[in-house]
Amino acid sequence: MKKILPRLALLAAPFLVYFALFFAFEPYDYFGVKGGASSEDSVITRVRAYLSAPEDAIILGDSRMAHFDMNAVAEASGRGWSNLAFGGASLNESIDLFYLAAENNPSLNTCYFGVSFYTLRAGDSRNRMEAIGTVVKNPVAYMLNFDYNADMLGELLLRLQGVQTGATRDAGAWEAIDSVDEDGNALPVRRNLIAYAATLYQNCAKPGTLPAIETEPYIDAWGAARERCTNPRALLDAMLAATPADSSYSLNWENLRRLEELAAYCAENGIELTFVLPPIDDALRQYLVAPLGLDEPMRTIRQALADTGAAVRDFEVEPEAVYAEEQYYDGFHLDVERGLPEFTRALFGAKEA
């Protein structure tokens, strides 16, 4: 026995060292002992925080609902909120997250749920919630998950290189080149707004409607690595030439039905539900919505949400507040300094009579 124990300890040592590294460098503060996650808007971080200390009001949606300063939200609304929105969230995932939140907090009484024409498009059937639900409740599953181990190793490598890690900021520091095309001629909007609209064509238009987006890397004023579009004029001309015949967009009626069921659940269980249609920049209206004829499905979505009996805060179809180009970081996301604070007050503050 005396010989076996040292051998077992020797065999276990590499695993213990690895798990110690995992504990120290996993970016989501899964165990809640590091005083904050380097990936604060990840679904793992947010669901774990909710399960340990749930608020009775929740926010759901994709990145447009994920980036609020929660102190500003509390100040505007006069109450605490749990933000369960995360970047890249599909509508299926947001719906399943709602039920997870409701099941784990019988006192839940308020939900702001982000919806848009883009998240309600057909073909987006992504749903990682079964795996996420297992991981957030099972530390062993988390520590043995390949993806989260890869995230930990990535965090470790960045730290060793002296790179500051953490959530990226949607704050623009634009230069003169961002307002001119590839030939130096003035553009009607910034390059990144054109490129962002072109990116959405990939899921809203038929293949070949636009040329490929060409980019070059650069470092912005915040020290973050970015990509700058190098063919904005070619993209702009192609978008202006697009017609509704080029559209591949259709509504995801199954997910719309799921939203109707969610609204009925809220009504039955005394949960105040508000559907939020987040703002979109005017460049998206001019170069995506109008050319492809997306106005009609957008109006259909708004009416269908209103027909559920839930409140609707519309900043997308018939916007109750409009934000200028300089207040946007890209076509979907308000600048965290120039636009998001104003939207926060508009959405969560007391409405004027």
Share of the chain above pLDDT 70, in %: 80
Q: Are residues 338 and 290 in the same domain?
A: yes
Q: 274 has which bridge partners?
A: 112, 311
- Shared domain for 212 and 264, answered yes or no, is no
Q: Highest mean pLDDT range out of 62-71, 137-146, 154-163, 224-233? A: 62-71
pTM reported for the whole predicted model: 0.85
Q: How confident is the model at residue 149 (pLDDT cuts 50, 70, 90)?
A: low
Same structural domain, 262 and 304: yes
Please name the residues in contact with 71: beta carbons below 8 A apart, sequence gap of 6 or more: none
Alpha carbons within 13 A on the beta-carbon side of 277: 28
pLDDT score for 17: 62
Query: Domain boundary at 204, 228, 246, which?
Result: 246
Q: Quote the tokens at residue 55.
A: 């608020």
Number of domains observed in the structure of the chain: 2
In whole angstroms, what is the distance from residue 217 CA to residue 198 CA?
A: 18
What does the pLDDT average to over 181-191?
95
For residues 92 and 229, membership in a common domain is answered with no
Q: Are residues 142 and 266 in the same domain?
A: yes
Residue 85 lies in a domain: yes
On whether the CB atoms of residues 271 and 110 are closer than 8 A, the answer is yes
Q: Annotate 292-348 with DSSP letters as a single string.
A: HT-HHHHHHHHHHHHHTTSEEEESSSS-SS---GGGBSSSS-B-TTTTHHHHHHHHH
Give the bridge partners for 205, in sequence order.
247
pLDDT of amino acid 252: 96
Q: 161 with 292, same domain?
A: yes
Residues 155 and 227 in one domain: no
Q: How confident is the model at residue 163 (pLDDT cuts 50, 70, 90)?
A: very low
Confirm whether 297 is domain-assigned.
yes
Burial call 129-155: b when 16+ CB within 10 Å, e when fewer:
beebeebbeeeeebbebeebeebbeeb
Flag whether 70 is in a domain.
Answer: yes
Helix axes 146-160, 4-25, angle to 10 degrees: 70
Give the pLDDT of residue 38: 46
Q: How many CA within 13 A on the CB side of residue 31?
A: 12
Residue 171 has pLDDT above 80, yes or no: no
Flag whether pLDDT at 233 surpasses 50: yes
In a domain? residue 209: yes
Residue 222 within any structural domain of the chain: yes
307, 284: one domain: yes
83 with 155, same domain: the answer is yes
Average pLDDT over residues 200-227: 89
- Per mean pLDDT, which range of 4-8, 44-48, 95-99, 264-268 is the poorest? 4-8
Residue where one domain finishes, among candidates 214, 246, 278: 246
> In this predicted structure, what is the pLDDT of residue 353?
44
pLDDT at position 86: 92
CA 141/CA 272 separation, integer angstroms: 34
Cβ–Cβ < 8 Å for 335, 170: yes
262 falls within a domain: yes
Asked whether residue 144 falls in the same domain as residue 56, the answer is: yes
Domain that holds residue 183: 176-246
> What are the pLDDT digits (tens) for 237-262?
999 999 999 999 999 999 999 999 99
Q: What is the DSSP letter of 78?
A: T
Residues sharing a CB contact under 8 Å with residue 156, sequence separation 6 or more, in sequence order: 21, 25
Domain for residue 9, yes or no? no
- Domain closes at, from 215, 231, 246: 246
Q: What is the CATH number of the domain that holds 126?
A: 3.40.50.1110
Residue 175: other Cβ atoms inside 10 A: 13
* One-character DSSP codes across 198-251: HHHHHHHB-TTSSPPP-EEEEE-TTS-EEEEES-HHHHHHHHHH--GGGB---B
Q: Indicate whether 47 and 156 sit together in one domain.
A: yes
pLDDT surpasses 90 at 275: yes
37, 152 contact by CB (below 8 A): no
* pLDDT at residue number 208: 96
pLDDT at 60 over 70: yes
Q: How confident is residue 28, by pLDDT bands cut at 50, 70 and 90?
A: low
Nearest partner of 95 among 66, 120, 68, 69, judged by Cα: 120
Q: Which tokens go with 143?
A: 């520590």
Q: In 106-128, which positions are buried (b, 16+ CB within 10 angstroms) versus exposed (e)?
A: eebebbbbbbbbbbbbeeeeeee
Residue 24 placed within a domain: no
Q: Are 140 and 197 contained in the same domain?
A: no
From the list 57, 121, 101, 109, the residue with the least C-alpha distance to 294 is 121
Distance CA 91, CA 116 (A): 9
